[in-house]
Chains A and B, each alone.
Chain A
Amino acid sequence: AQSVTQLGSHVSVSEGALVLLRCNYSSSVPPYLFWYVQYPNQGLQLLLKYTSAATLVKGINGFEAEFKKSETSFHLTKPSAHMSDAAEYFCAVRDQAGTALIFGKGTTLSVSS
């Protein structure tokens, strides 16, 4: 069964600094990978997804993620953090057999001025 591990339940950065949120997956078959974001007091929304078309995926709000099969990773990055990026970020995986979408435990991103 597939699973994801998000390293670091809480990440703190300064405004303008690089954001790096880590996600490693486990799947016996080629996976589809996703990042979702939950802003305070809001529902979850899709940030970006990997569907095997390209290993570097660009999403909304300047975020991107790179699929690395050799490292079984799908880390989320943003070159320069904004205060508005403060939120909880979830990595998720499903396999190409169409099983359920499985989420990691989330990483809370704090951005200080």
Chain B
Amino acid sequence: GAGVSQSPSNKVTEKGKDVELRCDPISGHTALYWYRQSLGQGLEFLIYFQGNSAPDKSGLPSDRFSAERTGGSVSTLTIQRTQQEDSAVYLCASSSLVSLTGELFFGEGSRLTVL
């Protein structure tokens, strides 16, 4: 597709359930980011995949959060045993690695609500 695609756009789950959020980056983009956006907290960095290098996981808030990127393209963010404080919009972005100043292109996000 032309842009970053995220699914689902909305997810409502019960506390304690696991959820998977998917990101399909722009074709050819080798850098992929996950951020969490919640009211008053801005964009919290979660994880960064850069080409074939080991991902930067320094932003993951707990071991309930994990992400993988298969074949250098699609990425899945998994949240295990969801808690109410996990409710937020999860944003994925991708960019070309040609330049460190390259623009990040964002998807429209997956809104997660944990009841």
Contacts and interface: CB of A to CB of B under 8 A. Distances in A.
A in complex with B: yes
Contacts of A104: 42
B56 A100 contact: yes
Interface in B65-115: 91, 93, 100-101, 103-104, 106-109
Contacts of A40: none
A98 B40 contact: no
A105 interface: yes
B33 A43 contact: no
A12 interface: no
Chain A interface size, under 10 / 10 to 19 / 20 to 34 / 35 or more: 20 to 34
B25 to A, nearest CB: 14
Interface residues of B, number: 22
A103 interface: yes
Nearest to A91: B42
A31 to B, nearest CB: 11
Interface string A48-71: 010100000000000000000000
Interface string A6-29: 100100000000000000000000
A36 B101 CA distance: 13
Interface of B: 33, 35, 40-43, 45, 48, 50, 56, 58-59, 91, 93, 100-101, 103-104, 106-109
12 contacts: A36-B104, A43-B91, A43-B108, A44-B91, A45-B106, A46-B103, A90-B43, A98-B50, A100-B45, A100-B56, A101-B45, A103-B35
Given A6-B42, A44-B43, 20 more contacts: A43-B106, A43-B109, A45-B106, A49-B103, A51-B101, A90-B42, A94-B100, A99-B48, A100-B56, A100-B58, A101-B45, A101-B48, A102-B45, A103-B42, A103-B45, A104-B42, A105-B40, A105-B41, A106-B42, A106-B43
